[in-house]
Amino acid sequence: MADISSASNKRWLTIIGIGEDGPDGLGEEAKRLIVTAPVVFGGRRHHALVAPIAIGECLTWESPFDRSIAAIVARRGSPVVVLASGDPFLYGVGATLSRHVNADEMHTIPAPSSFSLAASRLGWPLQDATTISLHGRPIDLIRPHLHNGRRIIALTSDADTPRQLADLLSASGFGQSELCVLETLGGTREQFRRCKADHFDLADIDPLNVCAIDVVAAGGARTLAFSPGLEDTLFEHDGQITKQEIRAVTLSALAPRHGELLWDIGAGSGSIGIEWMLCDPSLRAIAVEQSEERAQRIARNAAAFGVPGLAVVEGCAPAALQHLATPDVIFVGGGGSEAGVLNAAIGALRNGGRIVANAVTLEMEAKLIATQAELGGTLTRIEISRAAPIGGMTGWRPAMPVTQWRWTKN
């Protein structure tokens, strides 16, 4: 594609948001630009909406989508109109085009987003609702947002998504949540229907729909707390898991920051990488695990916690680390005492990056003590005891102590 640095400042690209009411919902400027455009890009539905006024060549999105983006950029300097649904910069084509075209080359005329239309129909203050796109994405992404009393508006992929959401809600203890399906918002066929998730009976749903959920949690519902250190019982594991209290301290030590990539070496159940990604949608993680069974378990846990984007690499460190993207942060848990693992992790870390390593064995502890003496950083000993029955009474039963090394690479 052309280098955007050589682009003219002329606003040659116009992105117009359009609703289901077609030209009737457009202002005079938007209609004039469509009428005079030599070429108009958009989906089949968009072209059908503007057919009464579009005169120029109408090009439908290609597959893969990058081919259409390249075709648009190839016309740099000549007038091009791109049609988008609602607000082009809210999960729309505008976000994609902005990676290839400078802002001073674009003129955007947005329409109300599906979120705005749904909120107005429901009477929900949009700033108080959680908005999420499930369009072309796993519906598991909704799981972290399922809290009693929360209101969620979700973009969907097709007519099947509402039922899939109802099934997910019911299976997770949120079956009494009210699910509202809003169809063809802004068009002549607009309608919205409500039902309880565990009594979902809606049929003939239009593929163009938005789902709104008024969340109600039953006792024992799978609610993912906002704090680090989620209960161990929420994870599928075989005992190879960083325990709840240690995990909370470890997440604090890892100190997630916007957009960072974590390597979780010897991931076990994947709990560290999962909780890392739950901290913020911008965070990424790679879980490295040599056991095939555990690697599959990590993927299942990631889906169950609503972070299906967690990458799982099956292999033995340090060899499995060789071709991975450069990490900002590394956690070394299981397998850290194996030859070369800690040194490989230190070597792979970018300058300014952070490493946190936990030891429960004497061998790994000795390695951390020696590494701290050589490189610096801090050593912390973490000891947890839990009350447990002792005969007919109660006493403290200590868990295995953990030695934790924290270090920033300069």
Six-digit token string for 6: 């050589």
Structure token digits, residue 341: 């693992």
Mean pLDDT for 59-65 is 96
Query: Residues 310, 312, 317, 320: is their CA dihedral positive or negative?
Result: negative
Is residue 6 pLDDT above 80, yes or no? no
Is the pLDDT at 267 greater than 80, yes or no?
A: yes
- Vertex 359, ends 358 and 364: CA angle to 5°? 130
- What are the structure tokens assigned to 151, written together? 């209101």
Range 89-110 average pLDDT: 95
Q: What is the pLDDT of residue 10?
A: 85
Q: Are residues 123 and 105 in the same domain?
A: no
If asked whether residues 126 and 104 sit together in one domain, one would say: no
Within 8 A by CB and 6+ apart from 198, the residues are 166, 169, 170, 175, 176
Residue 241 sits in the same domain as residue 351: yes
Structure confidence by residue, pLDDT tens digits, 177-195: 999 999 999 999 999 999 9
Q: What would the two tokens of residue 87 be?
A: 């607000």
> Is there a single domain that holds both residue 46 and residue 100?
yes
**Residue 57 burial (CB count, 10 A):** 10
Residue ending a domain, choose from 214, 241, 267: 214
Q: Are residues 247 and 267 in the same domain?
A: yes
Q: Is the pLDDT of residue 339 over 90?
A: no
Q: Point out the domain boundary residue: 181, 214, 247.
A: 214
Of the candidates 98, 188, 156, which has an alpha carbon nearest to the alpha carbon of residue 166?
156
Residue indicated by tokens 């057919």? 51
% of the chain residues with pLDDT over 70: 97
326 pLDDT exceeds 70? yes
- Across the range 106-135, mean pLDDT stands at 97
Same domain, 146 and 46: no
Whether residue 349 has pLDDT greater than 50: yes
Over residues 284-296, the mean pLDDT reads: 97
Model pLDDT for residues 110-120, shown as the tens digit of each residue: 999 999 999 99
Domain of 103, in residue numbers:
4-111
Give the model confidence (pLDDT) of 136-158 as tens digits: 999 999 999 999 999 999 999 99
Are 255 and 166 part of one and the same domain? no
Supply the DSSP string of 326-387, one letter for each residue: PPSEEEE-TTTTSTTHHHHHHHHSPTT-EEEEEE-SHHHHHHHHHHHHHH--EEEEE--EEE
Same domain? For 346 and 402 the reply is: yes
SS (H, E, C) 11-76: CCEEEEEECCCHHHHCCHHHHHHHHHCCEEEECHHHHHHHCCCCCCEEEECCCCHHHHHHHHHCCC
Phi, psi of 12 (to 5 degrees): -90, -20
Instruction: Dig out the tokens for 132 from the structure.
Output: 């999420």
Enumerate residues 6+ apart whose C-beta is below 8 A from 211: 153, 154, 156, 161, 162, 165, 179, 180, 181, 182
Mean predicted lDDT score pLDDT of the chain: 95
In this model, does residue 176 exceed pLDDT 50? yes
Q: Do 251 and 340 have their domain in common?
A: yes
Among 35-49, 186-200, 327-341, 384-398, the range scoring the smallest mean pLDDT is 327-341
pLDDT at 5: 39
Among 56, 77, 111, give the residue marking a domain's end: 111
pLDDT-derived band at 335 (thresholds 50, 70, 90) equals low
The enclosing domain of 138 has a CATH number of: 3.30.950.10
User: How far apart are alpha carbons 19 and 126 in whole angstroms?
Assistant: 19
Phi, psi of 145 (to 5 degrees): -90, 0
Q: How many Å apart are CA 366 and CA 380, to the nearest integer?
A: 13
| Same-domain check for residues 104 and 124 | no
Q: Is 377 found in the same domain as 237?
A: yes
